[in-house]
Amino acid sequence: MLHFVIIGAGECGARAAFALREKGFNGDITLIGAEPVAPYERPPLSKEGLVLAHEPKFVAALEHYADQRIDLRVSTHATDIDPIGKVVTLSDGEQLSYDKLLLATGASARSFPGIIGTGELIRMLRTHADATALRPALLPGRHIAIIGGGFIGLELAATARKLGADVTVIEGLPRVLKRGVPEAVAEVITQRHRDEGVDIRCGETIAAVEEGATGAIVRLGDGEELSADLVLIGIGAQPNVALAEKAGLAVDNGIAVNERLETSAADIYAAGDCCSFPLALYGGRRVRLESWRNAQEQGTLAAANLLGAGDSISAVPWFWSDQYDLTLQIAGLADGATTMLRRDLGEGAFILFHLDETGRLLAASGIGRGNAVARDIRLAEMLIAARARPDPEALTASHVKLKSLLAA
């Protein structure tokens, strides 16, 4: 009987395991996870999961793994892969032979190089255990300093304010969300945070972070000292590639895979946050995506290809972030855009369309309260997938339905 092994029991690995059964695979499946709990969703950790901080939001009930004959191993990690002998060695010394292997090792929180370690008062957020440890510190009257004005840092800031803590966000770049969001969208988010009382400091350098007996001190480059009850590091994530590198697999900003999620070693695939892949929709540009939807989609695609489908990645990158009552959604990749057009949707909501020099729609970025931008971002996503060159005037005219542009 065939044996498929999946290393990494996160959203992607779990989705792949269940998808294998949904697609009719009747062999053995072993799903290996380093954390002591069943696979869970990570996006809530910086949002409602941090507010509640009880049980995580599980991908599936524990009994469902048994029902589907998925051998879930928690509190276990792989230490070695032998691509020639097709053997995985586990942390307890057990060796598992595999017919095909999927690496869904995810990513880890990025530390502040050369300056910051972690401790009781200096923390990062990547796991449910991290969220559980953070929750008691996010109380009224406490001051939280967040290093990083990206999505994680700002989502943490919004949640901390909801819980009553005072918050300072320190960002080294000239504005928040510099790498992934247009300035007009970032301005809306920045103002919303400031309206909630968050002190956002951009263009700052950090000389040191020191942990004392009763609090932490963040020393800025200009000599100013900020006292905090807790410092949160939210400066992004780095792919977990050590196991793949040790096995001799190609690595390029993540485990390098082709359009079918195949690594440089036979019968070994990689998917989710840990891998980089060529995206045909953007001229074969190699990208790595850290998003909930990508983890789900690539888990399903990996399952199909483990079974020999040979399908290629075709999904449009998509990302969202909830902060207070605002929801930000982004479809596509704006790199290479030469034109940006704005479509106002009312009550402050709007979408920015990013087009290249030929008029092709590359990306759309929208922000508004609740689900104000969801429908139009979904339609924009479909236009991007179709490589459409919509009429610019129609894109900006709020009375023209995007669905009509898709039909055209």
User: Residue 267 has what pLDDT?
Assistant: 98
d(CA 215, CA 17): 44
User: Residue 408 has what pLDDT?
Assistant: 75
Under the banding of pLDDT at 50, 70 and 90, the label for residue 43 is confident
Q: What would the mean pLDDT of 190-203 be, rounded to a whole number?
A: 97
**H helices within 117-241, ranges in order?**
128-134, 151-162, 183-195
Tokens for 82, please give them.
């032998």
pLDDT score of 314 more than 80: yes
User: Residue 52 has what pLDDT?
Assistant: 62
Over the stretch 133-167, which tens digit does the pLDDT of each residue have? 888 888 899 999 999 999 999 999 999 999 999 99
pLDDT score of 48 more than 90: no
Tokens for 26, please give them.
């009747």
Tokens for 369, please give them.
């309260």
User: Residue 115 has what pLDDT?
Assistant: 57
Tokens for 146, please give them.
């967040």
Over the stretch 357-400, which tens digit does the pLDDT of each residue have? 999 999 999 999 999 999 999 999 999 999 999 999 999 998 89
Under the banding of pLDDT at 50, 70 and 90, the label for residue 308 is very high
pLDDT score of 211 more than 90: no
d(CA 144, CA 140): 10
- 107: closest CA among 244, 204, 212, 215? 244
* Rg of the chain in Å (alpha carbons): 22
Q: pTM of this prediction?
A: 0.94
Q: Mean pLDDT for the chain?
A: 93
pLDDT score of 112 more than 80: no
Contact 221, 204 (CB under 8 A): yes
Over the stretch 52-79, which tens digit does the pLDDT of each residue have? 656 788 999 999 999 999 999 999 999 9
pLDDT score of 351 more than 70: yes
pLDDT score of 117 more than 60: no
Domains of the chain listed by start with CATH number = 3-43+58-108+237-306 (3.50.50.60), 111-233 (3.50.50.60), 325-407 (3.30.390.30)
User: Residue 236 has what pLDDT?
Assistant: 87
Under the banding of pLDDT at 50, 70 and 90, the label for residue 208 is confident
Q: What percent of the chain has pLDDT over 70?
A: 97
d(CA 160, CA 51): 8
d(CA 232, CA 219): 14
Q: What percent of the chain has pLDDT over 90?
A: 81
Q: 213-248 as b/e, with b when 16 or more CB fall inside 10 Å?
A: eebbbbbeeeeeebebbbbbbbbebebbbebbeebe
Angstrom distances, CA of residue 140 to CA of 46, 248, 404: 18, 50, 50
DSSP of 82-93: ETTTTEEEETTS
Under the banding of pLDDT at 50, 70 and 90, the label for residue 311 is very high
Residue with tokens 């395991």: 17
User: Residue 154 has what pLDDT?
Assistant: 95
Q: What would the mean pLDDT of 44-58 be, rounded to a whole number?
A: 74
Under the banding of pLDDT at 50, 70 and 90, the label for residue 248 is very high
Q: In what order do the strands lie in the sheet with 95-97?
A: 78-82, 87-90, 95-97
- 328: closest CA among 363, 291, 373? 373
d(CA 111, CA 168): 19
- 390: closest CA among 366, 368, 364, 365? 364
